[in-house]
Amino acid sequence: MILRGALLLFSLVPAMSVADANLHIDSLAEEAVPEDPDAAALAELDWEAQPGRTAIERDHSRWWRVRFEPQEDNHEPRVLALREVFDARLVVYRPPDYRPETLELFDPNAPVVGSRHRLALELESASSDHPVYFRILEARSQPIGLSATSASSYLESDRQRVRFTSAVLAASVLLGLVSAIFAATLRRLAHGLLGMWVFFGGVYFAVLSGEALVLWPGPVDGGVALQAASLVASIGTLAAFSALYLFLDIRRAFPRLARVFRGLLWMVAGFLLAGLVFPGAWLAGWMNLLLLVLATITLGVAVLQARAGVGQAWFYLVGWGGVTVVVMARAGHFLMGDGTPVWLEYAHPATHVTSALVLVLAGALAARHAEREMHQARRRAVTDALTGLPNRARLNDRLQELAQGAQLADRPLSVLFVDLDHFKTLNDTHGHAFGDRCLQEAARTLQRHLRQHDLVARYGGEEFVVVLEENLGDASRVAETLREAVSKDCRRVDGHEIHLTVSIGLAHRGYGESLEHLLERADDALYRAKGGGRNRVVRAPDPVDFESTGRDVRDETVY
C-alpha cells in the first residue's frame, strides 16, 4: 500500500522538461519504411504527428522524424541533443547529405558536440523542410529526451553540466576517502558503509555522465558501461541501507520490521550475485524496486523515531532525508518507464554530495567526541576521583619529570609526606562519608597554599605528597605554612568542630640520590612526626650524613 502510494506520488512529477517549441516529433511503424531508405523516400512517407512530445520511445519497431522551427540566426548551426542514451545504438539520417550513421554515446569516434553528457549532433541546415530521422536499434526501456538549441547556447549549458559533474565527482571521491579514514580510525562499521556508498555514488555519476570515457584507456561498450554502473549503484545501495539499519538501530526499535528489512537486504545481495552471473538490464529494475521499498521503510522509521525524540533519527532526516527522497523519485520514475526528469539529473548528485558532507561532519563530530572521551579517560586514569588531585601513578610520572629537569638545570628538589592526624578515629566516629569530606577539605587547603607549578598528589588513604623545587630551608617554610593552614582552615568540616591537623615528613634530595630512597626518607620522617606527637613537621636526615656515617642520624629538626 505504501509502495503504491509512493509510485502514485512520483507519477505527479513531470517526467521530462516542458515541451520544446523548437521541434516537432513524428513517428511511423517500421513496416511502412522501405529497406535502406534515402531522404526522398523518408520524406514521402505518411508520418504520424506526436504533438507536445519531447521524447522518443525506445520502440525498435518504429521510426522517428524530428522537424524544426526556423531559428532567428540562420548562420549559427543548430544542435539536437539526446538525453539518456547511455546504452542506446541508433541509426540517424541528418541533413544535408542524409547518410545513415550508426551512433553510440560512448563511441570515441562518434561526431558528438561537447561532452558525453548528451548525444549532441550538429545540424547545419535543419528545419521543417530538412528534418532528422531516427531508428533505435538497441536500447533499454527508458525514453530518450530530445531538445534543440543553437550551438553556442548548447555549448554554454554543456560547460555548466561538466563543471557541475566534475565538482560532484571530485567531492564524492574526496569525501568518500575522508569517510573511510574516519571509519577506520573510529572503527565504526556504519560510517565505513556510508563512505562506501559515497564513493560508489561518484563512480555511478562518472559513468552516467560520460566522464568515465575520458579516464578509460580503450573503447567503451555502452551496454557494459551501464551494467557496470548499475552494479556499482547496487553495491552502494546495499552498503547505504545496511549502514542506516545500524545507524537507526532498527533491530532494537522495530524488531519485526527489522526482520523484513534484513530480508530485503539479503535480496539485494542475492540480485547482486545473480547480476554478476547473468548480467543484463533486468538487474536495474529489480534493484530500483528494492531501493524504493527500503527507502520508504527507512524514511518511515526515521519519522517515527524523530517524533519520539530520537536524536539520530533527526540527524538522518536533516542529513540524508533529502537524498533519500530524491533516490525514491528516481527509482519511481525508472520503474514507471518515463525517464529521468531534468531536475533529478541535478538534484540526485547535489543531494548525494550534501549528504556526504553531513557524513564527514558526523565523522568529525564522532572523532571529536572520541578524542574528548579518550582525554577524559586518560585524565580519570591519573586523577584521584575523591579529591581531584593527581593520583599515585601520575605522581610517579611527574616526579620522574621534575627530577630529570632539576638535575639538568641544577635545581633543588624536596618532597613532603602529609598525613591527616587521627583519621581512623574521625572515620569511626562520624562515618566514611565525613572522612571523605575531610580529605577533600584538606586537599583544597593544600592546593590553595601552593603555587601553580608545585605538585600535590594523593598518595593513598589519608596521605598526600607535595613535590617542591626548593632547597631544604624554603621547603621547610612551605611545610610549616601548609601545617598551619590545615590547622586553621579545617577546624570545622560540615558543621563539626574537629580541629583537623596534619603531620608532615620532609626530605631534600641529595646529589645522585634515587627517588625511591628520597620517598623512603620522607616517609620515615613522617613516621617520626606521627610518633612525636603529631601536628608537626619533621625533616629527614641529610642523605650525605646518612651515607657517610652508615647509621640513622636522629638529630632531625622538628617544627
CB-count exposure of residue 461 (10 Å: 0-12, 13-18, 19+): exposed
What sign does the dihedral 396-401-402-403 (CA atoms) show? Answer: positive
Average pLDDT of the residues in 143-147: 86
Phi-psi region of 361 (alpha: psi -120 to 50; beta: other; left: phi over 0): alpha
What are the respective helix, strand and coil percentages of the chain, to the nearest 5? 55, 15, 30
Q: Please state the rounded mean pLDDT for residues 336-359.
A: 85
330 contacts 348 by C-beta, under 8 angstroms: yes
Mean pLDDT along residues 426-437: 89
- Could you tell me which residue, 372 or 387, shows the higher pLDDT? 387
pLDDT at residue 9, rounded to an integer: 38
Q: How many helices (H) and strands (E) does the chain have?
A: 17, 17
Residue pointed to by grid coordinates 564527514: 360
Distance between CA atoms of residues 489 and 494, nearest Å: 12
Q: Which residues 6+ apart lie within 8 Å of 418 measured at CB?
A: 442, 446, 463, 464, 465, 466, 482, 502, 503, 504, 526
Q: Tell me the mean pLDDT in the region 185-191.
A: 80
Whether the full predicted model's pTM is greater than 0.75, yes or no, is no
Tens digits of residue pLDDT in 312-328: 888 889 888 888 999 88
Q: State the amino acid at position 249 in one-letter form.
A: D
- Cell 586523577 belongs to 383
Residue 362, pLDDT above cutoff 80: no
State the pLDDT at residue 437: 93
Question: Across residues 155-175, what is the average pLDDT?
Answer: 89
Q: What is the mean pLDDT of residues 65-69?
A: 86
Flag whether pLDDT at 176 surpasses 60.
Answer: yes
Decide which of 12 and 525 is more confident. Answer: 525
Q: What domains does the chain contain, in order, with CATH numbers?
A: 2-155 (2.60.40.2380), 158-372 (1.20.1070), 392-549 (3.30.70.270)
* Mean pLDDT of the 1-10 span: 42
| 140-151: average pLDDT | 83
Q: Would you say residue 535 has pLDDT above 80?
A: yes
Contact assessment for residue 79 and residue 148, using Cβ atoms and an 8 Å cutoff: yes
Residues in CB range of 8: below 8 A, 6 or more apart: none
Q: Tell whether the model's pLDDT for residue 175 goes beyond 60.
A: yes
Strand 62-68 with 23-29, pairing: antiparallel
Is residue 22 pLDDT above 80, yes or no?
Answer: no
Q: How confident is the model at residue 72 (pLDDT cuts 50, 70, 90)?
A: low
Nearest-angstrom CA–CA distance, 91 and 86: 15
Give phi and psi for 28, each to the nearest 5: -155, 140
Examine the pLDDT at 293 and tell me if it is beyond 50: yes
Q: Is the pLDDT of residue 444 over 80?
A: yes
Whether 89 and 65 have beta carbons less than 8 Å apart is answered as no
The strand pairing partners of 67, in sequence order, are 24
The larger pLDDT score, comparing residue 449 to residue 213, is at 449
Residues 68 and 128 sit within 8 Å (Cβ to Cβ):
yes
pLDDT score of 445: 93
Report which of residues 545 and 22 the model is more confident about: 22
Residue 501 has a pLDDT of: 92
Q: Binning pLDDT at 50, 70 and 90, where does residue 13 land?
A: very low
pLDDT tens digits, one per residue of 395-407: 999 999 998 888 8
* Residue 138, H or E segment: strand 132-138
Contacts of 282 (CB under 8 A, 6+ apart): none
What percentage of the chain carries pLDDT values higher than 90? Answer: 25
User: Three-class SS of residue 175?
Assistant: helix
**pLDDT value at position 547?**
46
Question: Would the pLDDT of 332 be above 90?
Answer: no
Q: β-strand 463-468 against 496-497: which pairing, if any?
A: unpaired
Contacts of 320 (CB under 8 A, 6+ apart): 244, 355, 358
Average pLDDT over the chain reads: 83
Distance CA 209, CA 203 (A): 10
Residue 85 in this model has a pLDDT that exceeds 80: yes
Residue 18 confidence class, pLDDT cut points 50, 70, 90? very low
pLDDT of residue 143: 82
